[in-house]
């Protein structure tokens, strides 16, 4: 079995400490009217006004070159901003995917024209992206993708269906993972990525998927001979698999993989204050210790990304262990507090608990299912 290293994360410099304090002041002002229930939406909260404020203050595109609207700060400094956003329950949905993975993919694989067209608008908080990967019947098995793009002169003609596309009804673009040659039997071969304009693509239909909580953030995208300009090809035709794996490293490595239910932990501790319960103290202590370990692992991944190291394996571990932690919190809370989850409750605890109970089952699906992640980890350990 091969050992998997998690290097010690960088220590907080004076600049990082100052940045964290400065950003907490920004969040205090921006989120002063946001309720605990709204904060529990975490990165499903969608507010273009908040995203524009983030962009204007220089908190988006932080690591990108200044010539593309970025700020040339470190990956670790960006991780600090992401962590503070999630801990505070900020409505980051309108810029979340674009800043985390679409922009970095365009910066890495895009043409100069694509970089000039997309990156400054993402950094300004003006351009919102979704993810065009999952398909019916294949889910997170991306190598089984059947959506096909056929080159026809200066356009691609796209046919197929994508599902679970967060905010496709609100966003401006997705990066579509598709097959430009061969069949699903070819697995990783013959795949490519296209930048899809969600507002102006003839042949594209977007339909809502309503989740268990009655909320609409997921969608189906149907492509019926949809016409996409050939200059919207991202990277090289046929190299989509390597590109999408690079994109997923950005998706799986952040603190969003263990902070989705943090508002429930905040409300639980608030309710437990003043109660003389050994069981509650022991349980909260154990949960806090697990949270501290996950934070340390996530900061290690941020340090690896800052040093331009391949963190795909470590990111998969953080995502898998983090989702287990997030999904366990509702049951832990219900063992300590005798209260039913109630989305209409006036009290913060019951309404936050209801929101987390309804949404947490999906957290081990997004960003790669548990089975996919554990396959990656097994290969990293040399046992598969």
Are both 98 and 140 inside the same structural domain?
no
Kindly state whether residue 6 falls inside one of the protein's structural domains: no
Q: How is 55-80 classified by DSSP, letter by letter?
A: HHTT-SSTTS-GGGT-----HHHHHH
Q: Which of 135, 237, 251, 256 is an active site residue?
A: 251
| CA-derived radius of gyration, the chain | 21
Is the domain of 262 the same as that of 377? Answer: yes
If asked whether residues 273 and 338 sit together in one domain, one would say yes
From CA 373, how far away is CA 312, in angstroms rounded? 10
Take residue 359 and report the two structure tokens written for it: 């949404």
Helix H or strand E encompassing 180: none
Does residue 170 contact residue 215 with C-beta atoms inside 8 Å?
Answer: no
Judge whether 251 counts as a catalytic residue: yes
Q: Is residue 337 part of a domain?
A: yes
* Residues 257 and 377 occupy one common structural domain: yes
Do 153 and 107 share a structural domain?
A: no
User: Strand 173-179 to strand 129-132: parallel, antiparallel, or no bridges (unpaired)?
Assistant: parallel
| DSSP for 274-320, written as a single string | T---HHHHHHHHHHHHHHHHHHHHHHHHHHHHHTT---HHHHHHHHH
Q: Please give the torsion angle defined by the CA atoms of residues 117, 120, 123 and 127, in that order, rounded to the nearest 10 degrees.
A: -40
In a shared domain, residues 43 and 80: yes
Domain boundary among 87, 111, 127: 127
Q: Is 230 found in the same domain as 175?
A: yes
Same-domain status, 95 and 116: yes
Per-residue confidence (pLDDT) for residue 252, from 0 to 100: 62
Q: Is residue 202 part of a domain?
A: yes
Residue 137 lies in a domain: yes
In this prediction, residue 254 carries a pLDDT of 65
**Total Cβ atoms within 10 A of residue 126:** 17
Q: Which domain holds residue 264?
A: 252-381
Considering the domain boundaries, does residue 208 fall inside one?
A: yes
- Of 37, 83, 45, whose CA–CA distance to 267 is shortest? 37
Q: Which residue has the tokens 């019947």?
A: 137
How many domains, the chain? 3
Q: Does 234 lie in the same domain as 140?
A: yes
Q: Given this model, what pLDDT does residue 253 score?
A: 58
Q: What is the pLDDT along the chain (384 residues), one digit of tens a residue?
A: 788 889 998 889 999 999 999 999 999 999 999 999 999 998 889 999 999 999 999 999 999 999 999 999 988 899 899 999 999 999 999 999 999 999 999 999 999 999 999 999 999 999 999 999 989 977 667 888 999 999 999 999 999 999 989 899 999 999 999 999 988 888 888 999 999 999 999 999 999 999 877 889 899 999 999 999 999 999 999 999 888 887 776 666 566 778 989 999 999 999 999 888 999 999 999 999 999 999 999 889 888 888 888 888 888 899 899 999 999 999 999 999 999 999 888 889 999 999 999 989 888 877 677 888 898 889 888 887
Give the pLDDT score at 371.
84
CA distances from residue 89 to 33, 52, 73, 127, 163 in whole angstroms, order as listed: 12, 17, 23, 21, 26
Q: Is residue 245 part of a domain?
A: no
86 assigned to some structural domain = yes
Eight-class DSSP state of 211: -
Residue after which a domain boundary falls, among 204, 238, 272: 238
Cβ(130)–Cβ(97) below 8 Å: yes
Q: What is the pTM of this model?
A: 0.89
Measured between alpha carbons, how far is residue 121 from residues 52, 97, 103, 208, 344 in Å?
Answer: 10, 14, 10, 26, 38
Q: Which residues pair with 156 in a beta bridge?
A: 151, 228
User: Based on the domain organization, do 287 and 372 belong to the same domain?
Assistant: yes
> How far is C-alpha 247 from the chain's CA centre?
11
Q: Given CA atoms 258, 264, 270, 275 in this order, what sign does their dihedral have?
A: negative
For residue 7, tell me if it sits in a domain.
no
Beta bridge partners of 158: 149, 226
**Shared-domain flag, residues 266 and 375:** yes
pLDDT (tens digit per residue) in 35-68: 999 999 988 899 999 999 999 999 999 999 999 9
For residue 298, what is the domain's CATH number? Answer: 1.20.140.10
N- to C-terminal Cα distance for the chain? 10
Please name which of 128, 242, 95 lies closest in space to residue 177, comparing C-alpha atoms: 242
Q: What's CA 326's distance to the chain center, in Å?
A: 15
* Residue after which a domain boundary falls, among 215, 238, 261: 238
CATH code at position 50: 1.10.540.10
Q: Are residues 90 and 71 in the same domain?
A: yes
């Amino acid at each position: 079995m091969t050992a998997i290293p998690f290097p010690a994360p960088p220590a907080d410099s004076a600049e990082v400490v100052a940045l964290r304090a400065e950003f907490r002041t920004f969040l205090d002002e921006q989120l002063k009217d946001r309720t605990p229930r709204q904060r529990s939406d975490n990165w499903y909260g969608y507010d273009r006004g908040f995203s524009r404020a983030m962009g204007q203050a220089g908190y988006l595109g932080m690591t990108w070159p200044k010539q593309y609207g970025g700020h040339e700060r470190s990956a670790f400094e960006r991780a600090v901003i992401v962590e503070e956003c999630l801990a505070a329950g900020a409505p980051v949905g309108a810029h979340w995917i674009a800043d985390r993975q679409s922009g970095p993919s365009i910066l890495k694989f895009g043409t100069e024209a694509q970089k000039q067209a997309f990156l400054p608008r993402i950094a300004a908080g003006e351009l919102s992206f979704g993810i065009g990967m999952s398909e019916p019947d294949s889910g997170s098995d991306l190598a089984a993708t059947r959506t096909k793009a056929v080159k026809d002169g200066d356009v691609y003609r796209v046919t197929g269906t994508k599902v679970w596309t967060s905010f496709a009804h609100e966003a401006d673009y997705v990066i579509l993972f598709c097959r430009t040659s061969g069949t699903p039997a070819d697995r990783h071969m013959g795949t490519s990525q296209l930048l899809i304009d969600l507002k102006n693509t003839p042949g594209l239909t977007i339909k809502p998927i309503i989740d268990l909580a009655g909320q609409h953030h997921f969608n189906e995208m149907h492509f019926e001979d949809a016409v996409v300009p050939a200059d919207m090809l991202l990277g090289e035709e046929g190299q989509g698999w390597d590109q999408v794996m690079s994109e997923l490293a950005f998706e799986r490595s952040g603190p969003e993989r263990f902070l989705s239910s943090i508002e429930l932990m905040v409300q639980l501790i608030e309710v437990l204050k003043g109660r003389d319960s050994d069981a509650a103290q022991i349980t909260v202590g154990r949960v806090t210790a697990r949270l501290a370990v996950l934070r340390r692992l996530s900061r290690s991944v941020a340090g690896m990304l800052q040093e331009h190291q391949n963190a795909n394996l470590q990111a998969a571990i953080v995502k898998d262990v983090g989702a287990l932690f997030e999904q366990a919190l509702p049951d832990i809370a219900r063992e300590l507090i005798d209260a039913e989850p109630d989305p209409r409750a006036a009290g913060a605890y019951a309404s936050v608990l209801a929101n987390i109970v309804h949404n947490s089952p999906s957290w081990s699906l997004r960003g790669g299912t548990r089975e996919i992640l554990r396959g990656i980890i097994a290969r990293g350990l040399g046992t598969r």
